[in-house]
Chain A
Amino acid sequence: MTPSISVQPGSVRATRMPRRWWTFALVAPLLLFLLASFIVPVLMMLSRAVTDHELADSWPKSAAALSRWDGEGLPDDALARTVAAEMLATRQAGTLNRVANRLNYDVVGSRTLLYLTADRMAAGAPGNSLADLVRIDPRWANRTYWSAMRHAAGPLTSYYLLASLDRRIDADGNIAAVSREQAVFVDIFLRTFKISLVVALLCTMLGYPVAYLLASLPERRANPLLILVLLPFWTSALVRTTAWVVLLQTNGVVNGLLEQAGLIDAPLQLIYNRLGVYIAMTHVLLPFFILPLYGVMKGIEPSAMRAASSLGATPLTAFLKVYLPQTMPGVAAGAIIVFTLALGYYITPALVGGGADQMISGSIAFYTNQSLNWGMAAALSLLLLIPLLLMVFAGRTMARTVPA
């Protein structure tokens, strides 16, 4: 008996291996497609968060010279001459904007300084020494601009990631907090997580009874209700938001009803603040919580609850000890889906929120579309991605500890 037992699994594995390769070959086109159309572009985009190539590409000689410079005091005339020459050359070639915009991210005003200096040199002003540059614009005597250039020489940079955390490298090379007026991203990140967390909790509290109701009804009656749950999916964000505005505004339906019922004397501020964001986002994301939970609840044998009560458990105990734990994978899945989707929201908060309700994706969209600062967009995305991956990992771990 023993030999046959030890041989069998081996032979089974041997026959299974080629089959596994077959299945891999079948999904290979999809994997390649995902790789080429999604993973590679995403990685390329994210790499902009830590790479710095604008200055090195446009001003190769200056970049080399800047990397050699120790960053102490002001640069020597040779470095100033190299920078001036390439500045003029790229101005005439129409590519100065790349360096100018990059430096402007770090030190606002660099853009004007570069264009002004280049135009003056094009008009005949000499640019052979640091003193020449300072004569064109006294700002060249300020070490801040030269330090920024040195940091931008690449190929790797910590600038974007630091800026995403409201930090920067000052002229002396130390990491320092940005001024209070400019410190915004840490707050927005924390706010984004808080809003997402609250929305996930609200969805859990509101969605659990709904999913339970749906799962306990016979299919014939559950299906129409399911359609009601799915309705937000099928309405455009704008229509949905407009509906919330009509309901929640100062002279809106909800305030009108509350006033008529005598519950309030003056209208409540229900929209254009955090409350409006919570209401609207919970509404939109509720189906993402209900559906996975509904699926899990449908898979729970109704006899388990009967068994629990036959074993002496009161309905409450049976629910808490038998039903609830079995639905936890669904709750976790739904809450994680809602949380992660909520992290990426910005249109709804923009439309129904107030000034203090902007979420991080709004900033990412701004840098991607408006200001073309893709380094910042990538750095913010990268920071947003890290907790997302943690959530997915946590979700997997949780799914493993609780059997489906």
Chain B
Amino acid sequence: MKRWARMVATLGLTATTIALSSCGSDAPTRPLTIVGWGGSSQDAHRNAYWTSFTKTTGIKLREDTWHGGVGVIRTKVIGGDSSWDIVQVETEDLILGCEEGLFQPLDWAALGGRGAFVPSAVHECGVGAMLWSYLIGYDGDRIKGPGPQSWADFWDVKRFPGKRGMRKTPKYSLEFALLADGVPPAQVYPTLRTASGVDRAFRKLDALKPNIVWWSSISQVPDLIGSGEVAMSVTSPGRLIVANQTEKRNFKVSWHGNIYAVDYWVILSNSPRKAEANELLRYMTRPENQMRLPTFIPTGLTSVEAGKRIDPRYKRDTPSDPANMTDALALDGDFWVEYGDQLTQRFNAWVAR
């Protein structure tokens, strides 16, 4: 027993040493670290905010990228790795991470008060970074004349022959199925909270299933549409609009029945640079700074003032434009936190059949 005790003590000491050396050394020397989703959205944030932030304040920034999943952050915080300060997270990650205490509650007064932002951009632990949406995208060179105008059209493979690209998750798929089945946007989540509503969504998906090509990374979508592999696809508009500008494509999107969601900035609770992180959050949420973002990427703005003053040229491509909001549906993060496991399991079983 004694030998075991000594061995355990030695092991503990070693583990502590390793843990200390991994979390302690990095913090004082590394610059403020901000983590985005890479690609065009990270480029846009850099161009709109980060370069000028460093220029004005002298605070150096380090960038990192991730692909979501609050488990990554939980592992870091529990494991004593404090290498990240500010992270761009999705709604469910925000809810789960905030409940777990992984994120620092925000000082809303310093950010200009909750009223300065659109309501969905305000959360105890996070402030809206951008507003984006999932909708129907297609290639205007392949579907000539009037394109799909609703999810019912998306389901209509007689009028629009060809495969359909959909994201291989129950999230979005079930909502779109109910919208296609005629459920009004406001009733989608109440319906999904009932067992019969879920059955109804899966029945509707059954009808389209033979024609669905599932994608798992949004980066696959421009290729899927551009190559004609699918006639239309669930997509977010950003990449298609950027491809139209940079690659001279003729991609089109239909805003009808889009589901919009907000990405949030959060400060990790184990960040050693909370003061600087707060300063960067203030800088990124100021209307005059946020107005620059749509010039780099078609995205909705979370600052009420910025939304009013946005250049009309960019306005019609942003999810927050009132014209694009008429029959839109806001993603219900709470619903997915509660039903995500069960529905993902059922969805995976269904998709494999």
Within 8 A of A (CB), among B61-81: 68-72, 74
Closest-by-CB residue of A relative to B337 is A111
Other A-B pairs, 20, CB within 8 Å; known A183-B349, A355-B214, A370-B340 = A32-B10, A36-B11, A40-B11, A94-B99, A97-B99, A101-B96, A112-B338, A181-B346, A184-B345, A184-B352, A250-B228, A250-B229, A355-B168, A355-B209, A355-B351, A358-B352, A365-B69, A369-B71, A370-B92, A372-B74
Q: Assuming the A-B contacts A111-B337, A184-B352, A355-B352, are A368 and B71 also in contact, with contact meaning beta carbons closer than 8 angstroms in the complex?
A: yes
In the assembled complex, which residues on chain B have CB atoms less than 8 Å from the CB atom of A363? 348
B350–A272 touching, CB < 8 Å? no
CA gap between A250 and B229 in the complex, in Å: 6
> Does A82 sit within 8 A of B, measured CB to CB?
no
Which residues on the B side are within 8 Å of A245 (C-beta)?
220, 223
- Give the one of B70, B71, B101, B340 with max A CB within 10 A: B71
Cβ–Cβ contact A369 & B69, under 8 A: yes
The residues of A that contact B74 with a CB separation of less than 8 Å are 372
With an 8 A cutoff between CB atoms, is A397 at the interface?
no
Q: Determine the distance from Cα of A33 to Cα of B14 in the docked complex, in whole angstroms.
A: 8
Asked if A176 is at the interface (CB within 8 A of a chain B CB), the reply is no
Q: In the complex, are the beta carbons of A369 and B227 less than 8 A apart?
A: no
Q: Is A125 an interface residue (CB 8 A)?
A: no
Most buried by A among B74, B92, B209, B213: B213
Alpha-carbon gap, A19 to B93, bound state (A):
54
The yes or no answer to A235 lying at the interface (CB within 8 A) is no
Contact check, A108 vs B342: say whether CB atoms are below 8 A apart. yes
**Inter-chain contacts of B11 with A (CB < 8 A):** 32, 35-36, 40
Which positions in B face A, CB cutoff 8 Å? 10-11, 14-15, 18, 68-72, 74, 92, 96, 99-101, 168, 202, 209, 212-214, 216-217, 219-220, 223, 227-229, 337-342, 344-346, 348-353
Q: Mark A180-208, 1 if CB is under 8 A from B, else 0.
A: 11111001100100000000000000000
What CA separation (Å) do A97 and B92 show in the bound complex? 13
Beta-carbon contacts of A27-58 to B below 8 Å, as 1s and 0s? 00000110111001000000000000000000
A351 in the interface (beta carbon within 8 A): yes
Q: List 16 A-B contacts (CB under 8 A).
A: A33-B18, A35-B11, A35-B14, A36-B14, A40-B11, A101-B99, A108-B339, A111-B338, A184-B345, A238-B219, A249-B227, A250-B228, A351-B220, A356-B353, A370-B340, A371-B344
Are the C-beta atoms of B345 and A182 separated by less than 8 Å? yes
Instruction: Give the complex CA separation of A94 and B219 in angstroms.
Output: 38
A206 to chain B, nearest CB (A): 27
Residues of A within 8 A of B345 (CB): 182, 184
Q: Looking at the assembled complex, report how far the CB atom of B35 sits from the nearest CB atom of chain A, in whole angstroms.
A: 14
Complex Cα spacing A108 to B338, Å = 7
**Contact A249 B229, beta carbon cutoff 8 Å:** yes
Q: How far is the CB of B242 from chain A (nearest CB, A)?
A: 18
Contact assessment for A182 and B229 in the assembled complex, using a CB-CB cutoff below 8 Å: no
Enumerate chain A interface residues (CB-CB to B < 8 A).
32-33, 35-37, 40, 94, 97, 101, 104-105, 108-109, 111-112, 180-184, 187-188, 191, 238, 242, 245, 249-252, 272, 350-351, 354-356, 358, 363, 365-374, 376
Once the chains bind, are A373 and B352 in contact (CB under 8 Å)? no
Chain A residues within an 8 Å CB radius of B99: 94, 97, 101
Bound form: Cα–Cα A365–B70 in Å: 11
Task: Give A234 to B351 CA distance when docked, in angstroms.
Answer: 33
Instruction: Assess the B344–A366 pair: CB atoms within 8 A.
Output: yes
How many angstroms between the C-alpha atoms of A252 and B226 in the bound complex?
12
B214 engages A272 (CB within 8 Å): yes
CB distance A105 to B351 under 8 Å?
Answer: no
Top 9 A-B pairs ranked by shortest CB distance? A369-B69, A355-B351, A97-B99, A369-B71, A184-B349, A350-B216, A356-B352, A36-B15, A108-B342
CB distance from B101 to the nearest CB of A (A): 7
Contacts of B68 in A (CB 8 A): 369-370
Residue of B nearest to A358 (CB): B348
Please name all residues of chain A whose beta carbon is closer than 8 Å to the beta carbon of B213 when the two chains form the complex. 272, 354
Complex CA–CA separation, A181 to B340 (angstroms): 15
A249 and B11 alpha carbons, distance in the complex (Å): 53
Compute how far the CA of A250 lies from the CA of B230 in the bound complex, rounded to whole angstroms.
10
**Contacts A36-B15, A369-B69; is A104 near B352 (CB within 8 Å)?**
no
A109 and B348 contacting across the interface, CB-CB below 8 Å: no
In angstroms, Cα B71 to Cα A371, docked, is: 8
A19 and B227 alpha carbons, distance in the complex (Å):
66
- Of the candidates A97, A101, A249, A350, which one forms a contact with B168 in the assembled complex, judged by CB atoms under 8 Å apart? A350
Cβ 8 A contact of A351, one of B72, B217, B348:
B217
Interface hub of B18, B72, B341 (most chain A Cβ within 10 A): B341
Complex CA distance for A35 and B15, rounded to whole angstroms: 9
**How many Å lie between the Cα of A205 and that of B128 in the bound state?**
54
Find chain A residues with CB under 8 A from B15 CB.
36, 40
Task: Tell me whether B228 and A181 are in contact (CB under 8 A).
Answer: no
Q: Distance (Å) between the CB of A210 and the closest chain B CB?
A: 30
Chain B residue at minimum C-beta to C-beta distance from A105 = B341
Residues of chain A lying within 8 A (CB to CB) of residue B100: 97, 372
When distances are taken between beta carbons in the complex, the residues of chain B under 8 Å from A367 are: 341
A40 to B341, CA, bound (A): 28
Q: Which residues on A sit within 8 Å (CB–CB) of B352? A: 184, 187-188, 191, 355-356, 358
Taking the nearest CB of chain B, how far is it from the CB of A369, in angstroms? 3
- Expressed in whole angstroms, the minimum distance between the Cβ of A375 and any Cβ of chain B is 11
Do residues B14 and A32 form an inter-chain contact, with CB atoms below 8 A? Answer: yes
Q: Is the CB of A36 within 8 A of B18?
A: yes
Q: Are B351 and A372 in contact, CB atoms less than 8 angstroms apart? A: no
A356, B223: Cβ atoms closer than 8 Å: no
Interchain nearest-CB distance for A355 vs B (Å)? 3
Q: Could you tell me the distance between the alpha carbons of A373 and B345 in the complex, rounded to whole angstroms?
A: 13
Interface pair B346/A182, CB less than 8 Å apart = yes
Residue of B nearest to A252 (CB): B227
Specify which chain B residues have a CB less than 8 angstroms from the CB of A251 in the assembled complex: 227-229
Query: Are B338 and A371 within 8 A (Cβ)?
Result: no
Q: How far is the CB of B236 from the nearest CB of chain A, in Å?
A: 18
CA distance A191 to B214 in the complex (A): 18
Q: Which residues of A contact B14 (CB under 8 A)?
A: 32-33, 35-36
CB distance from A94 to the nearest CB of B (A): 7
Docked complex Cα distance between A365 and B220 (Å): 20
A108 to B337, CA, bound (A): 10
Considering the chains assembled together, what is the distance between the CA atoms of A199 and B203 in angstroms? 34
Cβ distance A247 to chain B, nearest Cβ, rounded Å: 12
Of all chain B residues, the one with the shortest Cβ separation from A110 is B338
